[in-house]
Amino acid sequence: MSETRIKIAIQKSGRLTEHSTTLLQKCGLIFSQAKNQLIGYGENMPIDLMFVRDDDIPDLIQENLCSLGIVGKNVALEKKIAMDNSKQGCLFSFEENLNFGQCRLTFAYPESSSYRSIYDLEGKTIATSYPNIVKKFLKEKGLNVYVTQFSGAVELAPSLGKAEAICDLVSTGNTLKVHNLIQGEVVLDSVATVLRSTQVLSDSKEAWIKKLIERINGVIQVSESKYIMMHAPKDSLQKITELLPGTEAPTVLPLEGTNTTVAVHVVCKETVFWETLEGLKKIGASSILVVPLEKMLM
């Protein structure tokens, strides 16, 4: 494979896989992947996808084998702390938070125990798959708690007698409940993140990466954004922009046969709730249309 091509590491099979490939497709990337192949060949851009385990993604960028990667902030931060403490230093940066892979890295305590806070754990042990993040957090709090590394099934550690508490990823909280664990302090709010190599790349690679990151940004923005059209009293424009967060200056157009009512068009970059539309109606707006957007380039 030619060195002029950019390699992007994404998860081979897991919670981030479909979202990651869909995101890149929405950025215009067309790729082909032979059955059981771990490489996706970009047909219309000099970009190839490497399908790997999520834990390997920061390493691949650190070692400059891939220039970009999509991975949970939890995995990336765990590696970053290790690299920050190494001779080489961390050779990747966090480029963009995405709108999938949301979860929280959270302490949890056995229901049957008397522990309810990390401050109850002085001299005790916490099991986690994220020892660097947890140790840093505990150090910042000045707490003397042991951390033991588990690579999976962390929620079993207390019942196995391996730890008094755990620190693990939570999304719905069902897993904790099933294992009779009570959720405690949140260490990290995580989402999928774009990582990029901080090593010097050729001008053409830099240009493609810049373009791709801009497109990713556009896709993220557009996923929440809506185009809103309405008729409204001329003197309510100020109130309309106050009700619609994240809007730019509205486009105001005259309406035939009236001097007091105008047509207002705005792009709203945040979720538009029914309550917002009801609020608009209350200040005199009518014929309100909310239309999804497909592409946005700011």
- Which residues are near ligand PRT by CB under 6 A? 11, 14-16, 53-55, 72, 74-75, 101, 103, 168-175, 190
Question: What tokens does 88 get?
Answer: 């080489």
In the bound state with ligand PRT, the residue whose beta carbon lies nearer, of 148 and 175, is 175
Where are the strands (E) in the chain, listed by range?
6-11, 31-32, 39-42, 47-52, 68-72, 92-97, 103-110, 125-128, 146-149, 165-170, 181-190, 192-197, 226-233, 251-254, 261-268, 286-292
Site for Zn ion, rule CB under 5 A: 54-55
Minimum distance, C-beta of residue 53 to Zn ion, in the bound complex (Å): 5
Binder of residue 198, out of Zn ion, ligand PRT, none (CB less than 5 to 8 A by kind): none
In the bound state with Zn ion, the residue whose beta carbon lies nearer, of 6 and 98, is 98
Binder of residue 174, out of Zn ion, ligand PRT, none (CB less than 5 to 8 A by kind): ligand PRT
In the bound state with ligand PRT, the residue whose beta carbon lies nearer, of 73 and 196, is 73
Binder of residue 98, out of Zn ion, ligand PRT, none (CB less than 5 to 8 A by kind): none
Q: Which residues of 116-138 are buried (b: 16+ CB within 10 A; e: fewer)?
A: eebeebeeebbbbbbbbbbbbbb
In the bound state with ligand PRT, the residue whose beta carbon lies nearer, of 190 and 197, is 190
HSE-CB for 108 with a 13 A CA cutoff = 29
Minimum distance, C-beta of residue 50 to Zn ion, in the bound complex (Å): 15
Q: How far apart are CA 48 and CA 8, in angstroms?
A: 6
In the bound state with ligand PRT, the residue whose beta carbon lies nearer, of 53 and 211, is 53
